[in-house]
Structure 1
Amino acid sequence: MKWFKRLIYTLLVCIILGGVTVGSLYFYVKPELPSVETLREVRLQTPMQVFTADGELISQFGEKRRIPVKLEDVPQPLIDAFLATEDSRFYQHFGVDPIGVARAFSVLLTTGEIQEGASTITMQLARNFFLSFDRAWMRKVKESFIAVHIEQLLSKDEILELYLNKITFGHRAHGVGAAAQVYYGKPLNELTLAQMATIAGLPKAPSNLNPISNPTASKARRRVVLLRMLDEKKITRAEFEEAANAPVTARRHGAEVTVHAPYLAEMVRQEMVDRYGEDKAYNEGYRVYTTIRSDVQLAARQAIWDNLHSYDERHGYRGPVSILWSAEKNEEPVKEPAIRQYLEQLRVIGAVTPAVVTAVKEQSAEVLVKGEGKLTLPWKAMHWAREYLNEERQGPPPETADEIMQPGHVIWLRRVNDNSEWRLAQIPEPSSAVVSLRPDDGAVAAVVGGYSFQLSQYNRALQAERQVGSNIKPLIYSAAFEEGLTLATLVNDAPINQWNSGSGIAWRPKNSPEVYEGPIRLRKALAKSKNVVSVRLIRELGVKKVADHLAKFGLDRSKIPENESLSLGSLSMTPMQVARAYAAFSNGGFLVEPYFIKRIEDADGNVIEETDPVRACFDCDNQAPQVISEQNAFLVEQAMNSAVWGGGSWPNGTGWNGTSWRIQRSKPITEAVGRNIAGKTGTTNDVRDTWFSGFTSDLATTVWVGFDDVSRKLGRTSKHPEVDSSQQAITGGEAGAKTALPGWILFMEKALPLFPSRDFGIPPGVVNVRIDLESGKLSHKSDHTTRFEYFIRGTEPTEYSRDNGQSNGDIFEDDDDDLF
């Protein structure tokens, strides 16, 4: 009995001493303990996500990859894997597991080393939120007290949900949702047991046990997790064997992007950082919805790709990317496994995929394509590839495949014909940009800043200030209409050889092509892009007055040159600025503000910002400034409509085409909008920049094509007898109508049917009278020599033309009696 009593007394003393010790430690560290109440309102660092207007993911930005999940959405086998490995008594203890502590203490006594930490899931949560990862006794004490507080505040399920969303898994993945995406590219409910066990084994040492960087160690750790699950009777022996022997399938995956629009994503990222700062923008879980529909954006990207590849093909083939082996040098062919391994190291860039030629026949070739395997490249997929000599010249057409490629050549291929066929390709040397706006409020409908964001993050749509060439002419004509000139005003389309006292030089601008028609109506002059007419207009109006008028379209007045070269497009603008200016002609003269963020939601789905744009409307809330009259915009629209549809009478031999006539051949466009479309080409001196800008009532779109190196010309091409058999083949010198317009057509063919279209309405204050085409005066006739023309009321002609058809209209003259 004495022995028993002593034992009882000893235990009581130990308990009292232990309690006193614990209490003393608690009061000692209490001032340093954080308030766990914050866990009630915890907001996990979640990346910003960017979406299209229809909810497709464009990109995500953040320091940490995290996809928050609810506990009920986590598969039970994954929960079982974590509990079996990290804390099998999680639902039984109070935050600290006495059995686990005793076990760790016994190991310490027997080995003299700390080999087990006895940390529960709650203690790990406490450490992750409030403490460091230092292995120190005092940190462990604090961790234990905080864990007890957490257990008093939160339910077990709430603790487990926080834990599964908080812990780190390596490769910037935080939480099980992000881990599943980063390592397997899957949602949680699609993971296999082996994959779940791999993820559950990572928190112990995310770097050392990583399945990507250390697959052997990861596989061993996975086996430990599966053994614990087997011990806890959460899986059967058969399930254990299958999962333990499964191959390591992890590889790094990016965000689950469904629409590739990196230039737009970067625009949103920069805007969000400007608004909220980097920390909030990247970590608050904002969901940013843009103004852009996924199908329209993808159409813009594809149009850029197809148009640049068309340019590149007609200028010739520059040869293979590299050569793996050469028969001419008696080098042994590389084996297929090594070729596949080599291809895995190469990137897909833009529309092109790397491939290696393995065999060449007379007019075909066998190739091994990254991610696709073996395929045969037929002659029609490569016969375009005559040798590139320079921008101006191409070699003779090839007759056999071995003139183009040899076994061992590393080449590029791209998909064509709705992805059903492969075609020899190369990364285009020029670049391009497209901007499409909704004229009624400036919402960006599509934006692409270059061929590939991987190659260059320079956003040409917003940043490339390039000379606009004849794209400036509609703005100059608008200035002319502002001063009372009309669509029927005659201006002399003749060479200019006179001395200009204003500039002090004899300037001799020329038409392109050098065709002169004498007195010409302004409608026809703009439609046919007559250079000398623009010069005469700017001389008549005055350079300063024209520059002032151009500034109305949102341009920096200080950057507008005050010289006559302005008439031919020496002004530099970005594609976004051009599209914005042209939108004013479509919407009745209102200067809308381009915007691309529709709304911003917080991590809980609450709308915290929604864009309320200025609108092209009369007497409405948030009205955009009207920079030109509705009537002025209508007249410019009419002249640009003639650039598409031309005029005159073809049966009577007076028919003519405008510079944008190729749009007529596009059935998808004409079916979508009929004749309600307007456009203008633009080409600079030496063809360094080419443009096409045009609009309907619902879309204003600009396409630019040129080299980033402004010293390079886009050049010219000769006819390829086998490839250029169609009537629409593009040969000769590059120009806005040949180089930029085809890309515009490719985009608008897909985009226009997706938007409702309205007719070009006639605004109030505009009258329609029949005029004589030669004189611009009123006419009693109703034959092919006349047409109905639009005038701002008060500017219509009051005199009738003579019956003899002589040109006796009101023609402005200068001091030398030359037509202006």
Structure 2
Amino acid sequence: MLVYTNDGVLISQFGEKRRIPLAIEQIPQQMKDAFLAVEDSRFYDHPGIDLIGVTRAFVSLVTTGEKRQGASTITMQVARNFYLTRDKTYRRKIREILLAWRIEQLLTKDQILELYLNKIPLGYRAHGVGAAAEVYFGKTVDQLTLPEIAMIAGLPKAPSILNPIYSVENAVERRNVVLARMLAVEAITREQFKEAMQAPLEGKYHGPAIEMNAPYVAEMARQYMVERYGEERAYTSGFKVFTTIDSKQQQAAIDAVVQNLLDYDHRHGYRGAIANPWLAVPELDDQSEQQQPLEPVLMLPEPMWDQTQVIEYLKQYRGYQHLVPAMVMTVAEQSAQVIRRDGTQGTINWDGMKWARAFITDERQGAAPKTAAEIVQPGDVIMTVAATDGSLALSQLPEASAALIALNPKDAAIRALVGGFSFAQSQFNRAFQAKRQLGSNIKPFIYSAAFDNGYSLASLVADAPISHWDASAGVAWRPKNSPEVYDGDTRLRLGLAQSKNVMSVRLLRAVGIEKIRQHLSKFGFPLEDIPPNESLALGSASFAPLDVANGFAIIANGGYQVKSYLIERIEDQHGNRIFQQQPKVACPECEALQQSMTEFTELTEFAEIAADQFAICPALPVDQAQQAPHVVSDTNTFLVTQAMNSAIWGGGDWSAGTGWNGTGWRAARALKRRDIAGKTGTTNDAKDAWFSGFHPNLVATSWIGFDDHRRKLGSTAYNPNLGSNQITGKEFGAKTALPAWIKFMQVALQNMPVQSFTAPDNIVSVRIDRSSGLLTHRTDSSTRFEYFVAGSEPTQYAESLVQPVDPFIDNEVQQPATVDDELF
């Protein structure tokens, strides 16, 4: 089974038997000649049974009493390989002869030879010459040399012991027999024979020609195929599975997650060497009064280990992603010489290790080091990474975990998925298996419910502390903003963009918890996983990153309920398409066309003709059955998108002193494009950090946290060795999850043109006063244009304002809570 990206890049192979099916025309003539010379030189002359060979085998049996010669033709081998066992019995032989005779009547010689060369077992799970070429030489069949062809042709006699991986000597001896047979039947010249006989042969296993290492995606595809077809059929049918993954975006996602985890891990400090075989506890003499156990001390071996000894010792430690184990050999003032497990030697200069102050806790780090000896010592087994310029740097395997998922919002096709730092480190796929609290990533959906219940981007909600007595718990619940800054009556655009916690709680109270829960379920969140209390406003609900990305896709596509999928199509071994995904697709054009069709059929007697004509939408095209249900209005999602755009770009007039930043301002600085919207999220105690955001054509969610739910992401102090461009202070969504989202989007958006968020037809824009959200005659920096659903725009002018009152807030409506405040 082969698993590919949507653009045809091989991700993985699964199965007991490795095959690369080839048409007879794709197999080099020299390869055919080699097999015919050694296996069945009269193949094109006999009717499936070679009487001369049978006679020879019979004579051998009579004279020796042993079944030394099988007399099997290629046709008989095809019969045995497809239908029979390899048992050496007369019964099996007779059946083999009868089947061979029948096969010759049904197929041409070339068809039989094609079956044989694709089916024959050739060792190391390789079945057929295409797979053997890849396994033993890492080549395609058209790239093989004559001696390589002869080696493969010699394998059918005993593939387990004649292959060069098991024994180069055996393989060379058998290869030379094949070359001699080819010379005897005049398939090669004597000059070719002499040259091929002298060619060296390597004994090395070549893994599948994987073009992209995406194991989390490959495992999801494998599980899907096993569930659909059963394990045996999935692994042995030669299926080609094409996923929805975009290879460029997938690589960008892998790089973003890996780098972000390394950056997080490094700023929290160095946890020390993996091991050091040169450390030993000194022995005490009988007179010693030492009571406390002695610390191990460095005892350099004599003589010092050479490169071979170091590499042999390092074989017990595996690498992860770009991390390669190495041993420190010598330490200078601000550098260290190392030997890596792959045999390369190099120097870690000060720039590659000066980050490594000691890790104390997730909240504390040691003093910045000044010398290399404060960090490493000879014999230390460490992790290293190589820079593009060839230099080496000290690193370590991150303890935190992360996930990144990207979708096409039109149909929720998964374009990129990363479930952790390394599949070799952990096969747990956090992209869809880890349910984590959302924190403020929930707020766009809360605000969406508010917009469906009479609120607008200009509505004022009190940004003021809340204190609610919970009689059942005997304590007061006091959700707080983070930072604890309160601005009084604040417009909803700012409330979402600046992630005001207390405003979210007040909206939940005003709209009603049950209305909020029902609204959130429209975005694909299971109702049973949405807590029925006020903690919901602060993100106490737990969902997997894939669920979150799916929800944001519905905002990005205008409110159409799409469902994520990974498998685009499946082909059999002959390239026939046996499955094609039929996803629900967001199609505003289709919806408009259906409306036009309805109006048309009400006015004409040709209803049936109209229905046939408009059954397929010419905009995509999309069959009506594939059109995703429109669960949230496009006006609603447009307003949410506007607030999320402000979370990245902020607002106001900086020159006039009214400018302000949203929580995702780093994305604006890095990407410098207006067609993006996003939302940060951090849970209570910073155990989970999120950033979800989108372009009209791409949605992505980034999460980071520890698999151990007890650990917090913590905080970091300033490291004087690293200068001003470093992240310090408490970890939260904007600092910890957003960098991976930015790094991914920098690549993923490269070929996507800048496009504005188009306002629906029933959206109007009017000038409002920034303080009150009411209409204004002024045109200075205290005003701005704001979007409203037509008919809901304010009618009162700020100049005539006496006392603004929010009619939706009822401070008497109180609900019990279960969690403390949370960060943005």
1:476 has 2:442 as partner: no
* CA deviation map 1:280-326 (0-9, x unaligned): 33333332222222111111111111111110111111222333545
The match for 2:171 among 218, 225, 235 is 218
The letter of the residue matching 2:763 is V
Q: Over aligned residues, Cα RMSD in angstroms?
A: 2.5
Matched with 1:808 is 804
- 1:491, 1:811 within 8 Å by CA — same for their partners in 2? no
Matched with 1:392 is 363
* CA deviation map 1:56-80 (0-9, x unaligned): 1112223311111123322333333
* CA deviation map 1:245-297 (0-9, x unaligned): 55442323332111222211222222233333334333333322222221111
Q: Please state whether the residue corresponding to 1:354 is helix, strand or coil.
A: strand
Equivalent runs, 1:63-74 vs 2, <5 Å: 63-74=16-27
Q: Which moved more, 1:602-611 or 1:477-486?
A: 602-611
- 1:776, 1:809 within 8 Å by CA — same for their partners in 2? no
Do the aligned partners of residues 367 and 234 (structure 1) sit closer, same or farther apart at CA in structure 2, a change above 3 Å counting? farther
Matched with 1:579 is 549
The letter of the residue matching 1:475 is F
The letter of the residue matching 1:221 is R
The letter of the residue matching 1:665 is R
Equivalent runs, 1:549-588 vs 2, <5 Å: 549-588=519-558
Matched with 2:641 is 637
1:648 has 2:652 as partner: yes
Matched with 1:144 is 97
1:375 has 2:346 as partner: yes
The match for 1:519 among 489, 496, 507 is 489
Shift of 1:816: 6.3
Do the aligned partners of residues 261 and 215 (structure 1) sit closer, same or farther apart at CA in structure 2, a change above 3 Å counting? same
Do the aligned partners of residues 787 and 299 (structure 1) sit closer, same or farther apart at CA in structure 2, a change above 3 Å counting? same
Matched with 1:446 is 416
- 2:568, 2:581 within 8 Å by CA — same for their partners in 1? yes
Shift of 1:231: 4.2
Do the aligned partners of residues 192 and 807 (structure 1) sit closer, same or farther apart at CA in structure 2, a change above 3 Å counting? farther
> Separation in 2 of the partners of 1:600 and 1:170?
28
Q: Please state whether the residue corresponding to 1:321 is helix, strand or coil.
A: coil
Q: Please state whether the residue corresponding to 1:746 is helix, strand or coil.
A: helix
Do the aligned partners of residues 504 and 301 (structure 1) sit closer, same or farther apart at CA in structure 2, a change above 3 Å counting? same
The letter of the residue matching 1:226 is L
Do the aligned partners of residues 813 and 67 (structure 1) sit closer, same or farther apart at CA in structure 2, a change above 3 Å counting? closer
Q: Which moved more, 1:99-108 or 1:589-598?
A: 99-108
The letter of the residue matching 1:675 is R
1:310 has 2:266 as partner: no
The letter of the residue matching 1:737 is A
> Separation in 1 of the partners of 2:390 and 2:563?
41
> Separation in 2 of the partners of 1:217 and 1:817?
85
The match for 1:765 among 762, 784, 789 is 762
Matched with 1:749 is 746
Matched with 1:286 is 239
Q: Please state whether the residue corresponding to 1:446 is helix, strand or coil.
A: strand
Matched with 2:134 is 181
The match for 1:124 among 70, 77, 80 is 77
- 1:492, 1:518 within 8 Å by CA — same for their partners in 2? yes
- 1:801, 1:808 within 8 Å by CA — same for their partners in 2? no
Q: Which moved more, 1:389-398 or 1:97-106?
A: 97-106
> Separation in 1 of the partners of 2:387 and 2:669?
21
Matched with 1:45 is none
> Separation in 2 of the partners of 1:806 and 1:652?
26
Matched with 1:39 is none
Do the aligned partners of residues 787 and 751 (structure 1) sit closer, same or farther apart at CA in structure 2, a change above 3 Å counting? same
Q: Please state whether the residue corresponding to 2:41 is helix, strand or coil.
A: coil
- 2:347, 2:391 within 8 Å by CA — same for their partners in 1? no
- 1:503, 1:563 within 8 Å by CA — same for their partners in 2? no
Q: Please state whether the residue corresponding to 1:510 is helix, strand or coil.
A: coil
Matched with 1:535 is 505
The letter of the residue matching 1:600 is I
**Structure 2 alignment gaps of length 5 or more:** 280-296, 592-616, 618-623, 815-824
Matched with 2:793 is 796
- 2:509, 2:813 within 8 Å by CA — same for their partners in 1? no
The number of residues matched between the two structures is 762
Shift of 1:564: 0.8
**Structure 1 alignment gaps of length 5 or more:** 1-47
Do the aligned partners of residues 138 and 441 (structure 1) sit closer, same or farther apart at CA in structure 2, a change above 3 Å counting? closer
Q: Which moved more, 1:750-759 or 1:303-312?
A: 750-759
Q: Please state whether the residue corresponding to 2:798 is helix, strand or coil.
A: coil
- 1:52, 1:58 within 8 Å by CA — same for their partners in 2? yes
> Separation in 1 of the partners of 2:264 and 2:127?
46
> Separation in 2 of the partners of 1:702 and 1:269?
24
Q: Please state whether the residue corresponding to 1:355 is helix, strand or coil.
A: strand
Do the aligned partners of residues 771 and 720 (structure 1) sit closer, same or farther apart at CA in structure 2, a change above 3 Å counting? same
Matched with 1:158 is 111
- 2:347, 2:392 within 8 Å by CA — same for their partners in 1? no
Equivalent runs, 1:309-708 vs 2, <5 Å: 309-325=262-278, 328-332=298-302, 333-343=304-314, 346-371=317-342, 373-416=344-387, 421-499=391-469, 506-618=476-588, 619=591, 621=624, 622-666=626-670, 669-670=671-672, 674-708=673-707
> Separation in 1 of the partners of 2:187 and 2:353?
59
The letter of the residue matching 2:649 is W
> Separation in 2 of the partners of 1:240 and 1:637?
72
Shift of 1:472: 0.4
The letter of the residue matching 2:737 is A
> Separation in 1 of the partners of 2:213 and 2:677?
30
> Separation in 1 of the partners of 2:758 and 2:541?
31
Q: Could you tell me the TM-score, scaled by structure 2's length?
A: 0.88
The match for 2:60 among 100, 103, 107 is 107
Q: Which moved more, 1:648-657 or 1:336-345?
A: 336-345
Shift of 1:378: 2.2
Do the aligned partners of residues 59 and 334 (structure 1) sit closer, same or farther apart at CA in structure 2, a change above 3 Å counting? same
Matched with 1:8 is none
> Separation in 1 of the partners of 2:730 and 2:199?
61
Shift of 1:205: 1.8
> Separation in 1 of the partners of 2:477 and 2:427?
40
- 1:777, 1:809 within 8 Å by CA — same for their partners in 2? no
Q: Which moved more, 1:520-529 or 1:52-61?
A: 52-61
Q: Could you tell me the TM-score, scaled by structure 1's length?
A: 0.88
Equivalent runs, 1:229-248 vs 2, <5 Å: 229-235=182-188, 239-240=192-193, 243-244=196-197, 246-248=199-201
Matched with 2:724 is 725
Matched with 2:607 is none
1:190 has 2:143 as partner: yes
Do the aligned partners of residues 534 and 135 (structure 1) sit closer, same or farther apart at CA in structure 2, a change above 3 Å counting? same
Q: Which moved more, 1:188-197 or 1:637-646?
A: 188-197
- 2:461, 2:806 within 8 Å by CA — same for their partners in 1? no
Q: Which moved more, 1:311-320 or 1:736-745?
A: 311-320
Q: Please state whether the residue corresponding to 1:567 is helix, strand or coil.
A: helix
> Separation in 1 of the partners of 2:84 and 2:767?
86
> Separation in 2 of the partners of 1:535 and 1:280?
53
Shift of 1:485: 1.3
Shift of 1:226: 3.5
* CA deviation map 1:623-667 (0-9, x unaligned): 21222211111111111111111122222222211100101211x
The letter of the residue matching 2:24 is L
Q: Which moved more, 1:792-801 or 1:218-227?
A: 218-227
Do the aligned partners of residues 813 and 103 (structure 1) sit closer, same or farther apart at CA in structure 2, a change above 3 Å counting? closer
The letter of the residue matching 2:492 is L
Q: Which moved more, 1:449-458 or 1:656-665?
A: 449-458
Q: Which moved more, 1:355-364 or 1:376-385?
A: 355-364
Do the aligned partners of residues 206 and 534 (structure 1) sit closer, same or farther apart at CA in structure 2, a change above 3 Å counting? same
